[in-house]
Amino acid sequence: MRVTQTELPGVLIIEPTVFQDARGFFLETFSAVRYEGAGVDGPFVQDNHSRSLKGSVRGLHLQATKPQGKLMRAVSGSILDVAVDVRVGSPTFGRWTSVLLSGDNFKQLYVPPGFAHGFAALSDLVDVEYKCTDYYDPKDELTVLWNDPAIGIQWLTTEPALSARDRAARPLCELMDRLPRFIP
């Protein structure tokens, strides 16, 4: 497997080794020993599966006091997967990075605790599976405005389908008192 550090410390692009032949393919999508050695901290306690239609944007989400690390992958279709550093005091606070994840490229994105996360569905239908390092707690969730101009994410869509929760999201500057703190 190949691991690439993005411009945001701890946010990693993982390209698993894929064995392909005339029958199809095989890949290991997670191995605790191998992934921990590459900087993907566990343990993972929850797996999620999301299906989205083209043009949907999910996010930007994070949990305030029970932060989740997420290991993301698109099983079929494609997404623009986005991580935003929202750790107050971080040298990269408010900066974002993105990667195209698809069922064809097999890439994964590791988003560590303390980062907001979201994705845009680029294909007609996309299935996304991801592992989380903590349990989902709706009372602890923060939702950052998907198109916050202070962040400036280039989503590849201008009029996305959003959930009611994402439509009601607030800009990052209005969430400062609830955001995680950077620990050097």
- The neighbouring-strand residues paired with 73 are 108, 129
Residues of the chain with pLDDT under 50: none
Q: Which CATH architecture has domain 2-178?
A: Sandwich (2.60)
**Separation CA 70–CA 86 (nearest Å):** 15
- 136 catalytically annotated: no
Task: Indicate whether this model's pTM tops 0.75.
Answer: yes
Catalytic residue among 35, 49, 61, 136: 61
- 135 catalytically annotated: no
Closest C-alpha to 130, from 58, 69, 63? 69
Decide if 95 contacts 7 (C-beta within 8 A).
yes
Q: What are the tens digits of pLDDT across the range 120-133? A: 999 999 999 999 99
Sequence ranges of the domains in the chain: 2-178
What residues contact 150, with CB distance under 8 A and at least 6 apart?
Answer: 94, 171, 172, 173
Catalytic residue among 35, 110, 117, 130: 130
Q: How many CB atoms lie within 10 A of CB 29?
A: 14
What single-letter DSSP state applies at residue 22?
A: T
Q: What are the tens digits of pLDDT across the range 70-89? A: 999 999 999 999 999 999 99
